[in-house]
Structure 1
C-alpha cells in the first residue's frame, strides 16, 4: 500500500482520490524536475573530465526498428553480430532468439524510455518490455569497471559509457544477453513526427503526465495531436501504469501508421542514419511487418517505490526480474 501511494504521488497526481489542486500537482512535478536536474548536474560534474558522446535514441524509434528490421530476420538475411569489436557474423538458426534494446535519449544525456525486445524467429513473434526511467539499476563505469546503483535514466552519461553502457546496465538488470542496441535523440524523433504534422491519438480521459524538457504535460480527453516529446511522455506514463498498459502498443501502432507507413523510404533512411548502436542500418528499411505479431510484457506488478538518499526509485525483486526474463524468452 505504501508503494502504491508513493507511486500515485509521483505519477498519478491527477487522480481525483488524491484531491490535489492544480498547484499541488505542478509542485510535485516541479520538485521531481529539480531533483533530477540537480542529480544530473552532479553526475555531469563527476564525469566532466571525460568525453561524453553527444547522441540519443527515441523510444518511438522502436517503431522504426521494430517494424522495419524484423522482416530481414524473417527472410533469413539478418546476420547476428557478436558483442566483441572483432565479431564474426553467423546466420540465425530457426530456434534462436534475438534480443534488442531501443532507447530514447534527451539533450541532457538522460534516457527517459527503454524498450527491451525479444524476437523468436521460429514463432515469428516479438515481445516488448518498457522499463521505467527511475528503475534502480546496476550501472557500470566504463573507465574503471566499477558498478554503482542509480536510476536507469543516468546510464548513458555515467562514466561516459554511452549507448553500450545502457545495454550493459539493462543486460545486468535482467541477467539477459542483449544482441543489438540502438539510441536516437529526442530531437530527431520530434523532427520525424513533425514531418507528418504530428501524431493523432485519442485519450479516454483528461490526464497530466510527467514531461522531459518541461515539468509536465496536460492532455484533454479526446483526440490530441502529439509531438515527439508528448508521445514519449505518454509512453512513460503507460510504463508505470498511469495511462494503462494497452496504450503502449496503441501509441506505437499510431506512430507506425502515421509516420513510417506514410514517409518515403529515402526520407526514413535519413532518419535511420541518426541511430547510435550496432544494428545494420541498411537492413532496417527493406520491408514492413504486421503489428499483430507484437506482445506486451509489463513490470507493473513488481514495482516497489522507495526513497534512497532523498531520491525516488523504482525497485524490483530479483526473483521478479528473473520471471520477467523467462517470460520475455519463452514463446509457446
Structure 2
C-alpha cells in the first residue's frame, strides 16, 4: 500500500535563519559555521568500500544521479552492542522529483550477509555493525545501498531536549514506561519521546505502529530544529547531532544534495512490505514472500534507473 506524504515548505524558516544571521553579524555566522563543521566532521564515518558491489560505477551527486540511503535507528543502551530497530530504505530520483520510502520490519527473516544463516534482519547490525547491515539489506532487496545514516535512538532524548521538546499527533491512547500518552496532540521532552517511540506490544499494528511514531519524532525534530528559538541554541543541537548521528556522507556531498536535489522531498511515497508473522522454534519472525521481494526490487531498481 502506498501513501503520499505531504511535506511542509521550509522557505520561511530559511528566511528567518538568514535574518538572524544578518542581525547577529559576522561573529554569529562564524560560530554557527564552526559548530556545524565540527558536527559534520564528527558524524562522518566512511565505509570500507567506495562503491556498492551491485553498481558498476559510483554515484555522482554533482551529476544528479539517483541514489539510495539506508536509515538505521539503533536502539543502543549502556553495555549493549545494539540492534537496528528502525530500518528504512530511501531511493531518491531528482529526474522524477520523488523519493520512494520503504520501512523494513525489524523481525523480517532473511539471510544475514557474511554469516550465511537466516535470522531477523535487525540482528545484522548486532553481528557486524553498519557494514553487515548494509550488505544484508542489499541482499534482501537486491539493490545497491549508496549511503547510510545511523541514528542512536537512546541519544534522541538529547537532541529533542536541545530543540526544546517536540509535539506529535498521537493516534493511540497508551501508557509506556509509567507515562500516559493521550490520543491527540502531545508535547514530549527527550525522555518521554524515547518511551513513546519504543512502545509496540500494546499497539495492534505492532512494529508498523512503532515505525510510525519514530517517523513522527524525526519530523518533530526537523520542525523544531528549524524554528527561531532553536537557532539560538544551535551549538547544543549540533553537538547532540554529532554525538548521535553517523553517516558516510561528506560535508561536500551534503552541499551537493542541497544544490542538486531540490524538490525531491515534495513527493515522498511510503511503501509497506506485505508479509505474515509466524513463530519458528518459538521465535517470532516476519516472513516476506519471494513475489513481494521481487515486486519491491523492481520498484526500487526502476526508481534508481538501473
TM-score, structure 1 normalization: 0.60
Cα distance change, pair 219–257 in 1 and its aligned pair in 2 (3 A): same
Instruction: Give the match for residue 294 of structure 1.
Output: 268
Structure 2: distance between partners of 1:163 and 1:306: 27
Instruction: Give the match for residue 166 of structure 2.
Output: 199
Structure 2: distance between partners of 1:260 and 1:282: 21
Any unmatched runs of 5+ in structure 2? 1-39, 41-48
Instruction: Give the match for residue 225 of structure 2.
Output: 259
Would you say the 8 A contact 1:118–1:128 is kept in 2?
yes
2:117 to 126, 148, 161: 148
Q: Deviations over 1:159-180 (max 9, x none)?
A: xx11111111111111111011
Q: Deviations over 1:237-281 (max 9, x none)?
A: 678444796x77655433321235554465554344343342214
Instruction: Give the match for residue 177 of structure 1.
Output: 144
Alignment map for 1:50-65 (pairs within 5 Å): none
Residue correspondences, number: 238
Structure 1: distance between partners of 2:238 and 2:258: 12
Q: Which range is displaced more, 102-111 or 254-263? A: 254-263
Name which structure has the greater RCO, CA cutoff 8 Å, separation 6+. Answer: 2
When the two chains are superposed, the root-mean-square deviation of aligned CA atoms in Å is 3.7
Would you say the 8 A contact 2:197–2:217 is kept in 1?
no
Alignment map for 1:2-41 (pairs within 5 Å): none
TM-score, structure 2 normalization: 0.64
Structure 1: distance between partners of 2:175 and 2:291: 33
Instruction: Give the match for residue 26 of structure 2.
Output: none
2:254 to 284, 297, 301: 284
Instruction: Give the match for residue 114 of structure 1.
Output: 87
Cα distance change, pair 295–94 in 1 and its aligned pair in 2 (3 A): farther
SS in 1 for 2:101: strand
Cα distance change, pair 261–322 in 1 and its aligned pair in 2 (3 A): farther
2:185 to 217, 223, 228: 223
1:318 aligns with 2:290: yes
SS in 2 for 1:123: coil
Structure 2: distance between partners of 1:115 and 1:96: 20
1:233 aligns with 2:198: yes
1:126 aligns with 2:88: no
Structure 1: distance between partners of 2:296 and 2:58: 29
Structure 2: distance between partners of 1:292 and 1:235: 30
SS in 2 for 1:178: coil
Shift of 1:200: 0.7
